[in-house]
Structure 1
Amino acid sequence: MRPVTGDAAGLTVDFAGERFEVEPERVFTVGREGDLAIDDNLFLHRNFLTIENHDGLWLLSNVGSRLTATVTDTGGRVQAWLAPGARLPLVFAATSVIFSAGPTTYELTIHSAAPPFRETQTIADDDGLSTIGDVPLTHSQRVMILALAEPVLKREGTGMSELPTSAQAADRIGWTLTRFNRKLDNVCDKLDRIGVPGLRGGVRSYATNRRVRLVEHAIAARLVTRDDLPLLDEELRANTSSAATGD
């Protein structure tokens, strides 16, 4: 596969500033190796995702055995969890694919020149409330998510980002680790109750994977954006001031 040098018909993949044309007669592979060799991260499958054309319909498939991917339209209005062995049609003009391998989160965008569906404009709620389905985010919950998602939100465009540990994220906003983990529990419970997959599991998998899965969902669903990042410094200043005055 070759980087795109101009406008190309069909499908293109955008990752870390490079664009690749997907040829209809071939299977495009994404992973540690393949047409889009993302990274030498040993947590990442050699071949993780494939893109291929079946009778004029583009399909995205997860050919890995462990990792999952979050797939969404660029407006965050439609979201799917692509588990190992699953595949989805690529029907939007631009589709974001977000996944994590170890502590690293990756994002790529797939562009279609002739999508079967067109996105429509949405109107924001008059009350200005931010909700996840029927579950509202409190200020502290939003700040907690931001502390985890900050490296991804600061990144320009697609690419890869190392996520902070819970201890690092707590320190970023001046919280104790106990408080941070309690808020993390609360948010994961809320999202699990409304059907967001991947936030619960066994004891070991829950502790290891919930942070990266939460960031994937938050970015895909636009629960937090770059515009929210100033809240992190405001929270740190407020907590530093409180500690200094003994409040």
Structure 2
Amino acid sequence: MHPVRPLELEFCGERYAVEPGAEFRIGREGDLVVDENPYLHRTFLTLSEEFGLWWLANVGHLLTATVTDATGAVQAWLAPGARIPVVFETLHVMFSAGSTTYDFTIHAGGDFFRTSVSAQSEVGGTTVLPVTLTTSQRQLIVALSEGVLTQSLPGRGEVPSSADAATRLGWSMTTFNRKLDNVCDKLDRIGVSGLRGGRGRLAVNRRARLVEYAVATRLVSREDLPLLDREADGPAPVDGD
């Protein structure tokens, strides 16, 4: 069995070497101190080698992480107690603690699998992959993701409250909540985890999870930011928008 290569982790413009033979801890304390955010576990994620592979593990008990390859085509939801092998040359990791969303990148220097970006299609003037979104649904996601998409240096961004996002769009809270329900239901139906709670109850942290999924899988990007100013002074959207 060949020895595993060292990893390199990139966070907020800084790079950290992850060497074989020792566990690398990520959280409020550890080898990578993400933030002093009290909602963040002291040790949330770890990187360690086993069976000739690097593994990313969630050792926390409340928070989850969204993990994608460089293209965003492969996506996994890393729940507490779960772990995933680092099999791509580049792995992006996003997670939220309170109203703050964090992201970092793992560079492996080689990969076991390769992915390609699926063909995108135009539906009603909206580019979609892999789910069809109406213009107003995309506006909602972009409004929630604006703080992450506009980071001058990737690493952390704020997710606005529903009230602030509704104000940004010029919508009433009733319209915003209805659209949020519709988007979460649509993504839940295609298998996106974490957007609904048990027995049909919507999850409390669904806004943060929605941002993680949308940004990590390239469902929205910086190119969508102009949507926030589209018809900002016009009437609120109706259900079919």
| TM-score scaled by length of structure 1 | 0.87
**Match for 2:161 among 159, 165, 168?**
165
Residue 216 (structure 1) aligns with: 212
Residue 69 (structure 1) aligns with: 65
Task: Please state if 1:196 is matched with 2:182.
Answer: no
* Structure 1: distance between partners of 2:81 and 2:203: 25
Shift of 1:207: 5.2
Q: Which runs of 5+ in 2 are unaligned?
A: none
**Match for 1:130 among 127, 130, 147?**
127
Shift of 1:194: 1.1
Shift of 1:14: 0.7
* Structure 2: distance between partners of 1:119 and 1:76: 9
Q: How does 1:1-247 map to 2 (within 5 A)?
A: 10-120=6-116, 122-125=118-121, 130-133=127-130, 135-202=131-198, 206=202, 208-239=204-235
**One-letter code of the match for 1:236?**
A
Report the CA distance shift for 1:175/1:36 in structure 2 as closer, same or farther (over 3 A): same
**One-letter code of the match for 1:110?**
I
| Structure 1 runs, 4 residues or longer, greater than 4 Å off | 126-129
Shift of 1:239: 4.8
| TM-score scaled by length of structure 2 | 0.89
Shift of 1:157: 4.6
Q: Deviations over 1:62-91 (max 9, x none)?
A: 000111100001211000000111000111
**One-letter code of the match for 1:200?**
R
Report the CA distance shift for 1:131/1:172 in structure 2 as closer, same or farther (over 3 A): same
Shift of 1:232: 0.4
* Structure 2: distance between partners of 1:120 and 1:177: 39
**One-letter code of the match for 1:27?**
E
* Structure 1: distance between partners of 2:231 and 2:33: 38
Residue 6 (structure 1) aligns with: none
**One-letter code of the match for 1:131?**
V
Aligned length: 232
Larger CA deviation: 84-93 vs 110-119: 110-119
Shift of 1:55: 3.4
1 or 2, which has the higher helix percentage?
Answer: 1
2:63/2:96 contact within 8 Å kept: yes
Q: Which runs of 5+ in 1 are unaligned?
A: 1-8, 243-247
* Structure 2: distance between partners of 1:41 and 1:179: 32
* Structure 1: distance between partners of 2:117 and 2:159: 32
- Report the 3-state secondary structure (helix = DSSP H, G, I; strand = E; otherwise coil) of the residue aligned with 2:202: helix
Residue 5 (structure 1) aligns with: none
1:14/1:158 contact within 8 Å kept: no
